[in-house]
Amino acid sequence: METTDSLLKSVIAAETQYCSSKIERNLVFLQRQIDVLISKTSRGCSLKFFNPSEVLAADCIACLVNLMSDSATKPSLILKCILLFNNLVTDNHIRECLHEKFQLTPALVGVVVNHGVSTSDTLTAEGMQLLQKVTYGHRISFQEPYMEDLVRFLLRNVVSPATGLTLPAMGILVNLTRDNFSVQSYIKNNENMKEFARTLIKLLGDQAQNALLFSLTLLLNVCPLEKMAAKFYNDTNVPQTFQMVFNVLIDGQSGDTRRYAVDLFKDILKLERLQKSLANYEYLGTCIEQTLNLLCTSSHESVIKVFEFLQILCGVKGVRRVVCKAMFATFHIQDPSLFASLAQTPLSRIADPLLATIHWAGQSTDTQGLAPLGAYDLLIEIYEEQIFSHSKMHYDKHVAAILPTALHTLETPLEGDNLTIERRCTALVRCVKLLLTFCSDDTLLTLISKQTDANLLSKLLFFQFDHNTKVMTYDVTPPLDDWSDVGVELVLYLLDLIAKLKIEVLEDLFITTMQETKVVPFLACGLCSTNRERVQDTLNLIQMCSKLEGFPVMILGDVLASQNTARMKKQKVPLTYDSPHRYPNKRIHLEDKENIPVMYMKENVSCKNTSVSDNSDAESIHSLIEKMNTGLGLKDCKESEIVAVYERSLQAMQTKEQHLQDLLDAKTLSLTQADRMLSQYRARKGQDEAECNRFRSLLIQAEKKCKSLEGDTSDMRSKLERCSKEIEDLHTENQKLRQVAQMHQQLTTAHTELTEKYESGQKALLTLRQEHQSLSEMHEMLQKHNTNLKHQFDNTMEQLTTLQDERRKVMTQLKTAETKLEDTKKASLKWEYDYKKSEEEREVMETSIETLRSSMAKSEAKKKQLQDQVSQLEFACNQHEQTIANYETEINDLKSEIAKHRQITALINSLSSGNASDTSGAPNAP
């Protein structure tokens, strides 16, 4: 941690040094420090040290953003800053902070628009890619001063594709136009609108998947009234559009491609006409099956969008049933022991979509982000469809695969910073919500009641009671990094689950917790929530517990009243902005009036009127300042300073007065609560006195009964004597039974010993089987080697037979060379003798193999001996192979000698034929 802090401090110091004197040495030093930070935040490294809520990281980001905003900064330094921010935006929290708190977007727009022409393409391309990542998921008002220049720049780059920045420009336009009516209307009213639509239609034929997605999205958002653009979303062509988007989603090359494909489906399904056409799509089932297979192969970044896409499909009428069928179609009942380790098994070994979803649900939110939340949401949608549709599918067998992962999720410790606790609480909320859907069925309710640990639920409840800020304060708007709202939702779902589970310990826990005052703020927050389901769940809990004697109804009413007053005060207080010292680059965000609903604007107007009518103190202060300006009549130059001093003192007095007013309100609230507690105490005191009188009458009646029962005690004593004799007899019988019990214990110990011996024998049998398998594999290897030797031997035999035939032919033709070939005959006899020896050795090898077959079931020591024999046999086989090679060389030598002998015989024949002709011609001579 010290090294990262020192690194951030060095970057800040280098930036201040460079800003004070912009020389080359300071520039090189600053670039070197940024390079070190880039390597520290590269892909795969942890970004926990770069938390924007901490002071050092916030100062470092602010310095780098100021460098990018400065027009005098060199492009090389801006490129370094952009590369660093590209590494940082991989974390979603840092990306949101860069856009909202540190205003990185206007700085990037200035870099892209101003440096886009003068500098190299790398700076512009990297800047536009970073701008695309930063603006994703954020709606930016068109009233921002940089928006018009940015939109013009993007349209120019899309219309003229020669710049090479078409894809990032289209991506930024997709981010800006999504759910932003003002940007859409500006583009529609632009002069290049027709040319823009034509280029989008041309880009539909591009091979890049991102170009296809961006074109379809912009045609849907910006050009819905164009004739050529409307053809892609009419009733005849919309199935082809669905097929294209499904293909991009399934065969996506990156996570960003799938992200924009899912967002395009969101935009498409906003229209009811297109929802009906999707429900009637012919190949919807196969496309959903292929999409579900992505759960087994995707990374955690892309699987989040896959889960989001499946939830969007479940929200369409008639499509959720198709998703459920596709999910359960490939699931097969497996060994239940494997279900407990689904979260730890690698994803590459899981081939079923349901098991892959359970695997993602069991992952930690610290490492996998929102993937576990999406998995739980998908499981909730699927099992709601299965349980409430009353299908005949045996989903209790599927639930057995999910329960170990869900119960393991309940064991996650709530520790760390606020963001980690918030993520873990949201995962717990989804897990408890899934268990509540299971509790809607009676068989699943009994199954969950047997496997749920009551201590886990009680620990989660009391952690929220002790650490949630809703218990200690009644603030309507908690801080940004506060997890109290999620904790309230978790408490309400936990109370609902505890009320439904059939466990005696949980029933007592539910009664005791609902009688405590700590649960009151959570119930009040549930009733004041804007979520309809949360309000209904809270009302159901109050209805169940309203009949209890100690249920704090009065305190609940007080808390609700205090929250209502706090909300009214918040509406009356005028709008205040964050101080500039906290975030130096924070700008006042202008509201986009074209995108705000009419009712919301009316409410703002009414709030402003009430604030004007109620702020009498502010008016009195302004009137005092005017009287001072007019009445004093000071004409010297120090009049403004005096007025400033009075204004500061008046502001300080006003803040003190507001503070005192808040303290007074808190005191009045505490006094009213004390009065109500006193009235409750008096009422309870009256009830206690009435109960005391009732107890006194009961005591008098009990004394009368005791007098009447004294006569019965004598009879009881005689009966006791009889019973004592019977007890003695029973003691003797008990001793006999103890002896029998001892015998039974001895038998049980003997039985356990036998079972242990049986288990050890089974383990030994398994080891012997494994040894048998290994020996059989060795035997197969030896058999294969033996067959290879046999083949080689047969080949040598065939070669020897052919050689013998040729030798016989040569012996019949060359009778004169018999004397010379006797040596060769002796050599052949030696070879035959060696061959017989090899046959005998082969027989010895076969006998050794038979001995190996007979000794396969023996222990590991015999196995080692066999291995030694096999090594000896291999050595002998190698020797035989060498001898056979020698034989082949000798045979080649014989062949050469036979060829020489043939030449000699040919010469002899030629000579003999010449002599014969001479002898035949002699008598005829004159």
DSSP state, residue 41: T
Q: Residues 424-445: what's their mean pLDDT? A: 85
Q: CA-CA-CA-CA torsion for 519, 521, 527, 532, nearest 10 degrees?
A: -80
pLDDT digits (tens, 9 = 90+) for 318-338: 888 888 888 887 776 565 666
How high is the pLDDT of residue 393?
Answer: 57
Q: Residues 401-417: what's their mean pLDDT? A: 83
Q: How confident is the model at residue 163 (pLDDT cuts 50, 70, 90)?
A: low
- What is 74-130 written as a DSSP string? -HHHHHHHHHHHHHHTTSHHHHHHHHHTS-HHHHHHHHHHHHTTTS-HHHHHHHHHH
Measured distance CA(529)–CA(52) in Å, rounded: 30
**Least confident piece of the model among 228-232, 523-527, 670-674:** 228-232
How high is the pLDDT of residue 162?
Answer: 61
Tokens representing 173 are 């336009």
DSSP state, residue 590: P
Measured distance CA(32)–CA(19) in Å, rounded: 16
Measured distance CA(403)–CA(424) in Å, rounded: 18
Q: How confident is the model at residue 314 (pLDDT cuts 50, 70, 90)?
A: confident
Q: How confident is the model at residue 764 (pLDDT cuts 50, 70, 90)?
A: confident
Query: What is the chain's percent helix, strand, coil content, to nearest 5?
Result: 80, 0, 20
Measured distance CA(501)–CA(453) in Å, rounded: 11
Tokens representing 835 are 């061959």
Measured distance CA(738)–CA(31) in Å, rounded: 87
Percent of the chain with pLDDT over 90: 0
Across 809-846, b (16+ Cβ under 10 Å) vs e yields: ebeeebeebeeebeebeeebeebeeebeebeeebeebe
pLDDT at 585 over 50: no
How high is the pLDDT of residue 395?
Answer: 61
Q: Are 438 and 399 in contact (CB under 8 A)?
A: yes
Report residue 145: phi and psi, to 5°: -65, -20
Residue 28 CB neighbour total at 10 angstroms = 12
**Least confident piece of the model among 19-33, 339-353, 406-420, 534-548:** 339-353
pLDDT digits (tens, 9 = 90+) for 608-635: 343 433 444 445 555 555 555 555 444 4
How high is the pLDDT of residue 643?
Answer: 67
Q: Residues 503-527: what's their mean pLDDT? A: 80
**Would you tell me the crossing angle of helices 193-203 and 209-221 to the nearest 10 degrees?**
140
Percent of the chain with pLDDT over 70: 81
Q: Residues 565-572: what's their mean pLDDT? A: 70
Residues 6+ apart with CB under 8 A from 891: 799, 803
pLDDT at 590 over 60: no
Measured distance CA(537)–CA(531) in Å, rounded: 10
**Least confident piece of the model among 81-90, 381-390, 587-596, 669-678:** 587-596
SS (H, E, C) 721-742: HHHHHHHHHHHHHHHHHHHHHH
SS (H, E, C) 615-673: CHHHHHHHHHHHHHHHHCCCCCCCHHHHHHHHHHHHHHHHHHHHHHHHHHHHHHHHHHH
Q: Residues 865-893: what's their mean pLDDT? A: 85
Tokens representing 501 are 């589970």
Measured distance CA(683)–CA(685) in Å, rounded: 5
Q: What is the overall mean pLDDT for the chain? A: 78
Q: How confident is the model at residue 703 (pLDDT cuts 50, 70, 90)?
A: confident
Residue 585 CB neighbour total at 10 angstroms = 17
How high is the pLDDT of residue 425?
Answer: 87
Reported as type and span, the H/E element at residue 506 is helix 504-514
Residue 396 CB neighbour total at 10 angstroms = 13
Measured distance CA(435)–CA(437) in Å, rounded: 5
Measured distance CA(199)–CA(157) in Å, rounded: 11
pLDDT at 575 over 60: no
Helix (H, G, I), strand (E, B) or coil at 556: helix
pLDDT digits (tens, 9 = 90+) for 723-749: 888 888 888 888 888 888 888 888 888
**Would you tell me the crossing angle of helices 639-813 and 818-854 to the nearest 10 degrees?**
130
How high is the pLDDT of residue 400?
Answer: 78
Q: Are 69 and 113 in contact (CB under 8 A)?
A: no
**Least confident piece of the model among 103-112, 256-265, 497-506, 640-649:** 640-649
How high is the pLDDT of residue 689?
Answer: 67
Chain centroid offset of residue 371 CA: 3
Residues 6+ apart with CB under 8 A from 779: 852, 853, 856
How high is the pLDDT of residue 26?
Answer: 86
HSE toward the beta carbon, residue 56, CA cutoff 13 A: 15
Measured distance CA(124)–CA(111) in Å, rounded: 8
How high is the pLDDT of residue 855?
Answer: 64
Closest CA to 374 of 356, 398, 348: 356
Chain centroid offset of residue 29 CA: 40
User: 649 or 360: which carries more pLDDT confidence?
Assistant: 360
Residues 6+ apart with CB under 8 A from 149: 109, 113
| Model pTM score | 0.60
Measured distance CA(716)–CA(653) in Å, rounded: 86
Alpha carbon separation from 458 to 192, 494, 551 (Å, rounded): 64, 9, 19
Q: Are 140 and 104 in contact (CB under 8 A)?
A: no
